[in-house]
Amino acid sequence: MLGLLLFSALYFFTPRFASNAGKTPTQSTENQTVTTESILNTAKLALSENQKIALLSIENQLKNASNSKDSLRSFRAMSQFWADSAQKLAPYLYFTYRAALLENSEKSLTFAAQLLVDNLLTPDAPPALQPWIAGNAKVLLEKALVINPKNDSAKINLGACYLFGNLSDNPMQGITKIKEVVDTDSTNSYGQFILALGGKKSGQYDKAIERFLTVLKIQPNHIEAMIHLAECYELTDQKALAIDWYTKVSNSVNIPEAKEAISKRIQELKK
């Protein structure tokens, strides 16, 4: 689907899964369970000898840490290693999660949780990783809500974990948490957007379209909402409206690859 290319381009500055990323032997099918141990062990196999030495040094620092301050420093160093040197997203997310747990501030917890939820929502997230991502985010968000029960973004993200992370067979657990926010504040564009994504995922395209339009009334330049709205119109065979919104997306981005992909999609719809 066109969205995969567009999202990959639009989120260049945000750490997210790229197409085919994370498809290791332990993550090759949706039915296999992914664990932190399997993620780290698989990631280590791809390291160079110099990287293995650098990682061992940080692991030893963490092992020998005598207080929480030293442990936090080591977790952050580990996170930095996986982001910069190894360039492996899942381990980076995990050690950012561990650092946030140890720091236990609303800011650190919600920051790490947002990284996880962003990757839960991206079209390229490996399905086998989704419960792992959502489960870790859920831990962080519940702790953040203990600190600040009025944090609406945390409530919405917690709902997203249930909607997109396969944490429960009952999607209403996620919807209820998000609607708690948007029913009080209908102008909360993030909550409306997550509900729209949920509608799209479940095939309720008419409801999704309504929500995406609501988001765009609040934030007219919300590129993600435009992309999903165009796709929903395409999926419901409303080609003229799909073309209109794909054109608006093209006019709103300056990424040559994205513009080319949109142009091809529009030409297909015009046939």
Which CATH number goes with the domain that contains 240? 1.25.40.10
Distance of CA 143 to the CA centre of its chain: 19
Two tokens, residue 138: 């859920």
Q: Is the pLDDT of residue 139 over 50?
A: yes
Give the Å distances, CA to CA, from 79 to 56, 139, 176: 14, 18, 33
d(CA 101, CA 72): 9
Two tokens, residue 133: 């991502």
Could you tell me if residue 1 is inside a domain?
A: no
Q: Is the pLDDT of residue 60 over 60?
A: yes
Alpha helix segments (H runs only) across 104-252: 106-121, 130-147, 152-164, 172-182, 189-201, 205-218, 223-235, 239-252
161 and 106 co-located in one domain: yes
133 Cβ contact partners less than 8 Å away, ≥ 6 residues apart: 93, 116, 117, 119, 120, 125, 165
Average pLDDT, the chain: 89
74 and 153 co-located in one domain: yes
Q: Is the pLDDT of residue 83 over 70?
A: yes
Confidence of residue 173 (pLDDT cuts 50, 70, 90): confident
| Residue-level pLDDT at 26 | 39
85 and 144 co-located in one domain: yes
Q: Is the pLDDT of residue 11 over 90?
A: no
Which of these ranges, 28-37, 89-98, 139-148, 150-159, has the smallest mean pLDDT? 28-37
Q: Please state the domain count of the chain.
A: 2
191 and 264 co-located in one domain: yes
140 and 232 co-located in one domain: no
Q: Is the pLDDT of residue 82 over 70?
A: yes
Token pair 């091809």 is found at 264
Question: pLDDT by residue (tens digit) across 103-112?
Answer: 999 999 999 9
Domain boundary among 121, 141, 172: 172
Parent domain of 216:
186-271
Domain boundary among 109, 137, 172: 172
Two tokens, residue 223: 């590129």
Contact 157, 121 (CB under 8 A): no
Question: With a threshold of 0.85, does the pTM exceed it?
Answer: yes
Two tokens, residue 245: 């919104």
166 and 209 co-located in one domain: no
Could you tell me if residue 2 is inside a domain?
A: no
Confidence of residue 5 (pLDDT cuts 50, 70, 90): very low
Mean pLDDT within 2-13: 41
252 and 204 co-located in one domain: yes
Q: Is the pLDDT of residue 29 over 50?
A: no
Q: Is the pLDDT of residue 196 over 60?
A: yes
Could you tell me if residue 178 is inside a domain?
A: no
Handedness of CA 92, 94, 96, 98 (dihedral sign): negative
148 and 231 co-located in one domain: no
d(CA 241, CA 247): 10
